[in-house]
Amino acid sequence: MNSLECLHYPKRIHFYLLAFTTGYLISDFFVYYFMVGATGAFAYQTYGHHVMGAAGFICAMYMSRTAVVFGSVTILIELSTIFTNTRWLSLECKMKGKFLPVINSVLLFTTYFLCRMIFHTWWSIMFGYPYFIEFLVGTTNEEIVNNLHKSTFAFRACGAYMILVNVLSQMLNIYWFFLICKQVRRNIKKLITKEDGFEKAV
């Protein structure tokens, strides 16, 4: 297959990847909400992220074909989550030290900028939005029923939702990137002070 066919005809592993990620988002939501009982701005943003993300991946699996490939590749942006979780675990374990917060903040800044600010924006503008808009506007009901064997209402609703959730995700990425920049600045300033460890406030 050529590169265009790879975008239109996902493999079984792509469906597994979306299904696994959806299961993770749902289970993590229940653990974080019912067992941890987290509250506050960051917790509510995480709840929103998980609900919107899980629903988006379910929509992608229903739409199938290119939507599945788009969703699978988009998961690459979660690379930065490694360092977000490292910071959270370090706070919970009350780890001390001047250099660990700085190193983690720089890695978080770098991966977040490259994955979410650059790659996600490029991937959405060059591939995601044109595809979903084409299916919403340029595809007839007959094509959806006869070629894709889907409900026209559900198919178009899923496409509209995926556009919406992707736009909201990019807006949230900008806001979180602003907070990460502030975090990096604070942790670098701590190198020249007597302060130790990670900061609780974002």
- Check residue 89 and give left, alpha or beta (phi > 0: left; psi -120 to 50: alpha): alpha
The pLDDT of residue 46 is 85
pLDDT of residue 202: 46
* Domain boundaries defined on the chain: 3-190
pLDDT at residue 201, rounded to an integer: 47
Q: What is the 3-state secondary structure (H, E, C) of the chain?
A: CCHHHHHHCCCHHHHHHHHHHHHHHHHHHHHHHHHHCCCCHHHHHHHHHHHHHHHHHHHHHHHCCHHHHHHHHHHHHHHHHHHHHHHHHHHHCCCCCCHHHHHHHHHHHHHHHHHHHHHHHHHHHHHHHHHHHHHHHCCCHHHHHHHCCCCHHHHHHHHHHHHHHHHHHHHHHHHHHHHHHHHHHHHHHHCCCCCCCCCCCC
pLDDT reported for residue 142: 84
Residue 186 is predicted with a pLDDT of: 79
From first to last of the 202 residues of the chain, give the pLDDT tens digit.
Answer: 446 667 777 888 999 999 999 999 999 999 888 988 888 887 888 888 899 999 999 999 998 888 888 999 999 888 888 888 887 777 766 766 667 777 888 888 899 999 999 999 999 998 888 888 887 787 788 888 887 788 888 888 988 998 999 998 888 889 888 988 887 787 777 766 655 555 554 4
Q: Using CA atoms, how far apart are residues 159 and 119, in angstroms rounded to an integer?
A: 21
Distance CA(160)–CA(155), nearest Å, equals: 9
Q: Look up the pTM and report it.
A: 0.79
What is the pLDDT at residue 184?
78
